[in-house]
Structure 1
């Protein structure tokens, strides 16, 4: 008992937040009194039921609608223009083609729209019944509260507080499951109130669902986000200038396979383009980012990692290679990692994607699909 009291009084902001949620709800209930608290509890329960019904109906509806939307968008035969387009059209093609091609994004967009619409419809249908239920004793407020009314209001408020506290603990439980090695995770788990709620209520209620399914879903979302970022660069760099196309053809003229052509481009860009330290300095000191197109990089022969990668992607596509721009973290050679960009190219003869980093050619070594590439390059996902 003494250990429990000591742990509760130890300064832990997670414990404090949970306690304040409970205490605040009790005090709120006492001020409202029995009638006001009962009214509020009823509204909260209705809100919860409406949310659950809306989620279920939206989930089922989107499962039916998502493939139909995908097929309709495919029938539109939307192609990213190869001419120069403005920023609004760039956003349009990025969003629409991503919704067409990426199932989680499409599901998420449809779910959000469907949930809002269905919940509003349910509220409109249920509102007359709810108003009738509240029009009686609960609907009449009184400025005079008895001791019993205040006590009953506090009791009802405690029920609302427990519900709110469990919701807070559930959110923290998901965070702890997704990020078990984060310093904040250890801090959360140090809270005795969190441990009690998570172990005795949340974990038994969810079973293995959160522990098994949520991390897998999160990784899928991260991968899809990476694909959307890749699509953004595809839209931005869809236009290939004649000069770049001619140069790519000349550089890869001696290549017979996809791998040989991809490696020739990798060496050419890595040895021709110089790293633009002034661009990095301008951003680090003044937070000014000098945006440039692959054509700018090709003409000036200067750029940073993202410019190398975008130029490589455009030149590779001009000779019909499938290529991606990948963003993430790169090893700086001094024991830490920093923001970086590189490429992945698809080799048809090997039927797989391989990584390459043309930015690091000048530093020496082989950065075209070397062993342990992932030890020095960490994808953003």
Structure 2
């Protein structure tokens, strides 16, 4: 039995989320309604909700101050931070998420919970005491139902916390089994799409019509046309012993161009002398004009390669998936004599790590390669971005031109 079939029958992520949802409701039903118990439950629920609020604010302000800091009050705050601290943080962008953001979350959490506790003691708690007095003559069954209902918010809060924790862990770990469980858990994906992504401000998944899925398949065949399994880094340099297919086409077929694309690409960057400006114009055009083809992604997920992949069909139809975006970027860059690469690896779509492809462009003036991801264009700035390595990993060079 393979991992996929096992996941469908027994997904620990789904089971854990279900248990955390049921437990508070079941406890409330068994313990019945009690003003004292409910106050304690409200305290616990408030702590959970306020942690989520603090998490949102901490991530938001951490990114605005330490990553974007482009204008307004955030730029002013950034300028006030000692240069030694900024130098240390800028060496590794993960420090913002591992050190700075948790500190902000803790400070905000303490402030918000203290204020909320004060408000509850004046408003909600006296009402609960009055409700308990009015229920003295009610049946135990009614009190049990009321106890269960009052714990529904706590159940929801528990599920949110579990989803946040799993989402955070999945970003910083490379456990393939965990990633597979997360990607196949419908409750986890639903909570991520409705709550985690908006709260953590994951612009990629928040702005795309639907979360980008695993829409990138690499099939390696030997000389007898049999599928074989070898590491991708070896497949990309197989010296003719094998043929590598990306979503059903070879790499050469995928990046193949024509006069229409070449002419358009040259006109697009006409007047620009800087390679970086040309690269940015191509990135902006592809990101703006090519729509993500979710139907095609679903077909590729089912190993249906009877689809047209590569630069030419993508340019003609103005639709494609990640490999198509990257292949078109290669073709348009080659038309302008720019050194370009097609990269294969994984991208984080707000829920889990997925198979993905993007590009790198060489800037001769700066003597360096920069990362470019036209597929994630609608999710924010992914042209030589500081946050690139946060949601991209396991990069392998599939081809260089």
TM-score per shorter chain, which class?
0.3 to 0.5
Between Structure 1 and Structure 2, the one with more strand by share is 2
TM-score (norm 2): 0.37
Which has the higher Rg, Structure 1 or Structure 2? 1
TM-score normalised over the length of structure 1: 0.39
